Amino acid sequence: MGARGGSATLRSLPAVHELAGALDAPHALAVAAARQAIAEQRAAVVAGEPVAANLLPRARELLAEMERGSLRRVLNATGVILHTNLGRAPLPAAAREAVAHAAEGYSNLELELESGERGSRHDHVKGLLRELAGAEAAIVVNNGAGAVLLAAAALAGPGRGIVVARGQLVEIGGGFRIPEVIVQSGARLVEVGTTNRTRLGDYARALESHDDVGAIMRVHQSNFRTVGFVEEVPIEALCELGVPVIDDVGSGWLASQPASMLGGGAAVGDEPSIATSVAAGAALTCCSGDKLLGGPQAGLIVGRRDAVAAARRHPLARALRIDKLSLAALEATLRLYLDPERALHEIPVLAMLAVDEATLAARAGRLAAAIGDRASVTRAAGKAGGGALPLLELEGPVVSLDADPEPLAQALRHGDPPVIARIHDGQVLLDPRTLADDEVELVAGAARGALSGE
């Protein structure tokens, strides 16, 4: 298109108020959608690209995107159960109901109904955590990283040392590094041992040579494992050294969870238990609420009464406090654990880990049949995700789609609701492990639409 033609096309673009007036929406949204549609057309004209004869359809598309909101439900067909990018643990029905109930109006978040006096938000879950973990006391904060930071600040504080094995100075998702957390807590890092081997004597010598050690910290390696010529000190031995121990167990594995659900419990051996840490004598045991525990984002701190009280008094405790909706979801999730078999069936994370081959095969067969000729059932391995059980391979039936993988995966993401698949060996795979039974038809419909639009 020549310069004169381009100028004429630009002059023919509708005014913002004219296009906005044709949209059925609040004025501000209509203006924003119209302005963006016109800007896109103007850029296309300047670039010499084909232009639309009518901007109204595009303006309506943009308006629909704006009205829909940014945070949306997606369907997880990746086979990664605790997918951090997808919000980690999906909440059990009881937790969703508790959130809705707490959000209806006011709540007794920090009010003791019996006395009318001010209460503590921690009291809503304190008793449950004490019973489930066997701990003297408990508090919760807004996430697992916050729990570790608060524990370090409360037990060591400015200038005091925290002893950590070199093999546990890890970085997990989002650049969260243990050495930096210790610095931010105001404490001083004391490294012991080597990358692959740390012995009890290494800790003992550190305590002898540093008279200002406030705590020993044991850190779960989370999303990786060191194998081969390795050695580390059990939590029981660390707790006998006479210094408070902070145990970051990571994923929130409760001893009351049935070990049989992961192949006879063999895989559970790599995942430290909250209750085991407490029984060993750890001053504070920290973990996340939205990983293997299967609840909302939260940081759980359980342990000795004096240590928990120190964490509760620390100024950081207020900055890191949990909100009422997460607290409601956490309480409801923990209540399910009072009956381990009920927890296994009603907490989605546990159900996905425990699901049997026959159920997966039936779900995969339904999904493939509903999609059509371009879908077939094959086998692949999913993951626990979220830094939990990194060596565990969740092998089972999946549905493979016959199409160019990248465009198809993109089309699935752009659907409503978006379907998140995974690409493996040049194939788009839909894993039924991370889909609920009532999501199968939704995914099938999305796949049919994406395949037909190629």
Same domain flag for 177 and 63:
no
Tokens 């879950």 belong to 125
More confident residue, 195 or 333: 333
Same domain flag for 307 and 171:
yes
pLDDT band at 5 (very low <50, low <70, confident <90, very high): low
Close Cβ partners of 403 (under 8 Å, ≥ 6 residues apart): 374, 428, 450, 451, 454
- Write out the residue range of the structural domain in which residue 357 sits: 75-84+350-452
Query: What dihedral angle (degrees, nearest 10) is formed by the CA atoms of 176, 180, 184, 187?
Result: 130
What is the Cα Rg of the chain in Å?
A: 27
Whole-angstrom distance, CA of residue 79 vs CA of residue 24: 40
Q: In terms of Cα–Cα distance, which of 288, 274, 244, 347 is closest to 143?
A: 288
Which two three-digit tokens encode residue 135? 């701990």
What pLDDT does residue 266 have? 36
Same domain flag for 184 and 314:
yes
Which two three-digit tokens encode residue 347? 């907490």
For 162, 194, 203, 211, 442, the CA distances from 206, given in Å and listed in that order, are 10, 13, 5, 9, 58
Whole-angstrom distance, CA of residue 172 vs CA of residue 387: 8
pLDDT band at 387 (very low <50, low <70, confident <90, very high): confident
299 domain-assigned: yes
Q: Residue 277: what are its φ and ψ, rounded to 5°?
A: -65, -45
b/e per residue 274-307 (b: at least 16 CB within 10 A): bbbbbbbbbbbbbbbbbbbbbbbbbbbbbbbeeb
Q: Is the dihedral of CA 361, 365, 368, 373 positive or negative?
A: positive
Whole-angstrom distance, CA of residue 320 vs CA of residue 180: 17
47-56, 192-201, 258-267, 433-442: lowest mean pLDDT where?
A: 258-267
Whole-angstrom distance, CA of residue 403 vs CA of residue 137: 55
What pLDDT does residue 265 have? 39
pLDDT band at 84 (very low <50, low <70, confident <90, very high): very high
As a whole number, mean pLDDT of residues 159-178 equals: 85
As a whole number, mean pLDDT of residues 32-42 equals: 93
Query: pLDDT for 262-302, tens place per residue?
Result: 543 334 556 788 999 999 999 999 999 999 999 999 999 99
Amino acid identity for residue 344 in this structure: L
344 domain-assigned: no
What pLDDT does residue 253 have? 85
Same domain flag for 273 and 135:
yes
CB 144 within 8 A of CB 198: no
Q: Which residues pair with 177 in a beta bridge?
A: 171
Query: pLDDT for 344-370, tens place per residue?
Result: 999 999 999 989 999 999 999 999 999
Same domain flag for 275 and 357:
no
Cβ burial of 148 (10 Å; 0-12, 13-18, 19+) is buried
Same domain flag for 59 and 80:
no
Give the domain-ending residue among 339, 363, 379: 339
Q: Is the pLDDT of residue 192 over 80?
A: yes
pLDDT band at 51 (very low <50, low <70, confident <90, very high): confident
What pLDDT does residue 227 have? 80
Q: In terms of Cα–Cα distance, which of 281, 268, 226 is closest to 353?
A: 268
pLDDT band at 392 (very low <50, low <70, confident <90, very high): confident
Considering all CA atoms of the chain, what is the largest pairwise distance in Å, rounded to the nearest integer?
85
For the chain, give the percent of residues with pLDDT over 90.
Answer: 75
Q: Which residues pair with 118 in a beta bridge?
A: 111
What pLDDT does residue 139 have? 97
CB 147 within 8 A of CB 322: no
What pLDDT does residue 257 have? 54
CB 333 within 8 A of CB 94: yes
19 domain-assigned: yes
Amino acid identity for residue 343 in this structure: A
Q: Are strands 213-219 and 161-165 parallel, antiparallel or unpaired?
A: parallel
Give the domain-ending residue among 339, 365, 392: 339
CB 410 within 8 A of CB 428: no
Q: Work out the number of other CB atoms within 10 angstroms of the CB of residue 353.
A: 26
As a whole number, mean pLDDT of residues 169-190 equals: 85
CATH number at residue 365: 3.90.1150.180
Close Cβ partners of 281 (under 8 Å, ≥ 6 residues apart): 236, 239, 240, 245
Same domain flag for 59 and 100:
no
CATH number at residue 108: 3.40.640.10
383 domain-assigned: yes
Counted domains in the chain: 3
For the chain, give the percent of residues with pLDDT over 70.
Answer: 93
CB 159 within 8 A of CB 212: yes
Query: pLDDT for 209-243, tens place per residue?
Result: 998 999 999 998 776 777 888 899 999 999 999 99
Q: Is the pLDDT of residue 20 over 80?
A: yes
DSSP assigned state of 415 = S
Q: Are strands 375-385 and 80-82 parallel, antiparallel or unpaired?
A: parallel
Close Cβ partners of 22 (under 8 Å, ≥ 6 residues apart): 56, 59
Average pLDDT over all residues of the chain? 90
More confident residue, 259 or 170: 170
CB 330 within 8 A of CB 295: yes
Whole-angstrom distance, CA of residue 32 vs CA of residue 60: 11
What global pTM score does this model have?
Answer: 0.89
Whole-angstrom distance, CA of residue 399 vs CA of residue 368: 6
345 domain-assigned: no
49 domain-assigned: yes
Which two three-digit tokens encode residue 23? 């949209």
125 domain-assigned: yes
* Overall size of the chain counted in residues: 454
Q: Is the pLDDT of residue 9 over 80?
A: no
Same domain flag for 7 and 57:
yes
Same domain flag for 297 and 156:
yes
Q: Is the pLDDT of residue 255 over 90?
A: no
Same domain flag for 330 and 197:
yes
249 domain-assigned: yes
Same domain flag for 286 and 311:
yes
Same domain flag for 328 and 267:
yes
Give the domain-ending residue among 291, 315, 339: 339
